[in-house]
Chain A
């Protein structure tokens, strides 16, 4: 399925501005939906904690630290709105655009709604934390499997030219990163919600505990990603 010719890191985007602003609009719409339907604490858990978690992870993608072997996985250089650079003015502290940052909690919200609907039909699943994590993760992947093909073709993000473009131009590391990021978040989400039910935690305590475990989720996610990347690299599926 190798099918794409690599382009320059700052190659012009096709429909990029449309993607950027429609993504921000939909994210805000989903944020309002989350707040109205689920209240303050779920909005904090998904939209604040989830976004900070995603912000740290996403910035690992373009990170270049040759002394530590980081060559950068992808770049998103041509957007209008970054933290805190707007239309080319200001200081860019995050190499990832705001549209992408806002996309993370939206994906978490969609994935959690998917899992909750499955749990309402099959309540026993709720107590199987690994299966729950896999369901949440599968929702994220179902969203990303088609979307990243388009994003790659239209230069919404540009991949490191050393990565093997396995899935219609998208490297496998993208899906490994997605899997581990959403799986770990989903796993800890279900673990903590089960503990809340068992120990009668308040929503406030649950929210605080989720915020506290974010560094642990991030570390476990990184370990899982690096190990699986190395494993697939043994089969020649990561680099050209």
Chain B
């Protein structure tokens, strides 16, 4: 039952979860290539920072707007009552 509920939550929030997946995918790929002489990264700090910051901005804006929407709906419901 709990697994079913969890899957439902994941399905209903698939897009922000995918953004987190892409973020992790990029970071794991960087870690795999860490010591590879051909594909290795010479500018680790900035690249990891960029890989984190842009998906996090996306998620931050998305979650913030969802909270604003929920607050607006809550106020509307209270007014209607």
- A: residues with CB less than 8 A from B are 1, 3, 14-15, 22, 26, 29-30, 33, 109-110, 113-114, 117-118, 120-122, 139, 142-143, 145-147, 149-150, 153-155, 168
- For the complex formed, measure the closest distance between the CB of A40 and the CB atoms of chain B, giving whole angstroms: 19
Residues of A within 8 A of B36 (CB): 14
* Inter-subunit contact B62/A114 (CB<8 Å): yes
Contact of B50 among A26, A29, A146, A154 (CB under 8 A): A146
B39 touches A14 (CB 8 A): yes
With a CB–CB cut-off of 8 A, which chain B residues contact A149?
47, 50-51
Cβ of B55: which chain A residues have Cβ within 8 Å of it?
Answer: 142-143, 146
- CB contact between A121 and one of B26, B32, B50, B66 (< 8 Å): that residue: B66
Number of A-B contacts (CB under 8 A): 87
CB proximity of B80 to chain A, nearest CB, Å? 18
What is the predominant secondary structure among interface residues of chain A facing chain B? Answer: helix
Asked whether, in the complex, the Cβ of A121 is within 8 Å of the Cβ of B18, the reply is no
**Cα–Cα, bound, A26→B22 (Å):** 10
Contact of B39 with A143 in the complex, beta carbons under 8 Å: no
B11 CB contact (under 8 Å) in A3, A33, A110? A33
**B29 on the interface (CB 8 Å rule)?**
yes
Question: How close is A191's CB to chain B, nearest CB, in angstroms?
Answer: 22
Min C-beta distance of A125 to chain B, whole Å:
10
Quick one: CB contact mask for B6-50 with A, threshold 8 Å, 1 for yes? Answer: 000001001100110111011001101100101101110011001
Given known pairs A15-B32, A143-B58, A168-B46, the reply for A30 and B18 (CB within 8 Å) is yes
The residue of chain B having its C-beta at the shortest distance from the C-beta of A155 within the complex is B39
Report the separation of the CA atoms of residues A153 and B29 in the bound assembly, to the nearest whole angstrom.
Answer: 10
Q: With the chains together, A150 CA to B33 CA distance in Å?
A: 10
CB neighbours of A120 from chain B (8 A): 65-66, 69
Q: A30 to chain B: which residues have CB within 8 Å?
A: 14-15, 18
Query: How many angstroms from the CA of A3 to the CA of B44 in the assembled complex?
Result: 12
Bound CA span A159–B61, Å: 32
Select which of A121, A139, A154 is within 8 A of B39 by beta carbon: A154
Which one, A121, A142, A168, contacts B58 given CB within 8 A? Answer: A142
User: Which residue among A121, A147, A149 has the maximum number of chain B CB atoms within 10 Å of its CB?
Assistant: A121
